[in-house]
């Protein structure tokens, strides 16, 4: 928000008009703060925190946009490309919250349905609703209390990796008193090394590498993660075809070494990385039902818990600002 002061001001005006000068935003205010919700969705789109999905596993032979994917193939969804698909988003490289709003100011359900920060299909994050509640309360709470500004026009950059994170930058906060020979029928892809496959290319900026390969080989191309044959799926249409239309085929998880370590330590399949089985379906059903009840029946409890965390955070910020002001007074 420090990078977009006009957007920040619009959020703050909307919060003040809805909750008043003294109250903090709560979940009951969420349906009335359309612009705040749009900003949250656009922030999750433009900065895809988890740019690549957890590995999927082909349980059977299938096709993605006419390209054959054999059984026992690892499949990766390039969520960054989905969120920056120029055929879906008006200007994907720029921060434009209004793309999630209709002309009357309500949220555009059709555009929301095209945004998938929590992945999509059978393996969509089961904790999505709880996460959205957390994000809304913390974000709106901070916007209510503070105005954030970049310190001396500092640059804001993102550090690419398995999880995207902001690079270090200074911000001020004003308290508001208000390669193998392929023998199976895999899609085309770049040449890779024996044994390690394409791992040497997947370093600090995997998304740039994937984008370059996408331009050359199309939305669906093959690589190898070590010895694992892997298909990378890019773009909104291709990922939707794989995750939803052919979702049953790619419901599995590969048996990587890390999965085996977790399995041996816990004595069972780890839920998020677990292989497809009746036990997994049972676990998912119980987890989804429990989270739905928790976020619905215990809504007040969850809201109180998150709000207390926001209050603790703002108290710590206030103390830090006071200490800095006191030191500056002594220095003068």
Q: Which CATH architecture has domain 5-82+93-277+290-331?
A: Orthogonal Bundle (1.10)
Q: What is the mean pLDDT of the chain?
A: 81
Q: Where are the domains of the chain?
A: 5-82+93-277+290-331
Confidence of residue 277 (pLDDT cuts 50, 70, 90): low
d(CA 103, CA 258): 48
Q: What is the pLDDT of residue 310?
A: 85
Q: What is the pLDDT of residue 329?
A: 55
pLDDT at 9 over 60: yes
pLDDT tens readout for residues 203-259: 778 888 899 999 988 999 989 888 788 999 999 999 999 888 888 888 777 776 666
pLDDT tens readout for residues 53-95: 888 888 899 999 889 999 989 999 999 999 999 999 999 999 9
Q: What is the pLDDT of residue 268?
A: 58
Confidence of residue 157 (pLDDT cuts 50, 70, 90): confident
To the question of pTM greater than 0.75 for the whole model, the response is no
Neighbours of 58 (CB within 10 A): 23
Element (H, E) at 94: none
């Amino acid at each position: 928000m420090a990078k977009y002061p006009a957007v920040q001001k619009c959020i703050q005006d909307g919060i003040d008009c809805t909750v008043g000068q003294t109250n903090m935003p709560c979940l009951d205010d969420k349906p009335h703060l359309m612009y705040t919700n749009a900003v949250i969705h656009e922030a999750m789109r433009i900065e895809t925190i988890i740019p690549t999905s957890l590995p999927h596993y082909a349980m059977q032979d299938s096709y993605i946009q006419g390209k054959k994917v054999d059984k026992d193939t690892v499949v990766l969804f390039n969520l960054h490309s989905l969120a920056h698909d120029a055929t879906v988003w008006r200007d994907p490289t720029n921060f434009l919250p209004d793309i999630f709003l209709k002309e009357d100011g309500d949220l555009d359900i059709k555009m929301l349905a095209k945004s998938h920060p929590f992945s999509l299909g059978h393996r969509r994050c089961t904790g999505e609703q709880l996460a959205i509640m957390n994000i809304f309360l913390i974000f709106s709470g901070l916007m209510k209390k503070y105005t954030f500004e970049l310190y001396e026009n500092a640059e804001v950059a993102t550090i690419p990796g398995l999880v995207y994170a902001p690079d270090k930058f200074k911000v001020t906060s004003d308290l508001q008193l208000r390669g193998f020979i392929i023998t199976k029928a895999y899609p085309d892809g770049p040449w890779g090394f024996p044994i390690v496959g394409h791992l040497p290319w997947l370093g600090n900026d995997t998304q740039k590498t994937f984008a370059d390969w996408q331009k050359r080989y199309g939305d669906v191309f093959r690589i190898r993660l070590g010895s694992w044959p892997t298909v990378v799926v890019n773009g909104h249409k291709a990922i939707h075809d794989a995750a939803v239309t052919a979702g049953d085929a790619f419901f599995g998880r590969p048996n990587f070494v890390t999965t085996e370590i977790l399995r041996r330590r816990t004595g069972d399949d780890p839920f998020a990385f677990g292989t497809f089985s009746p036990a997994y379906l049972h676990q998912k059903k119980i987890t989804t039902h429990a989270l739905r009840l928790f976020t619905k029946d215990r809504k007040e409890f969850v809201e109180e818990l998150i709000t207390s965390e926001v209050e603790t955070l703002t108290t710590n910020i206030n103390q830090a600002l006071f200490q800095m002001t006191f030191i500056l007074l002594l220095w003068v």
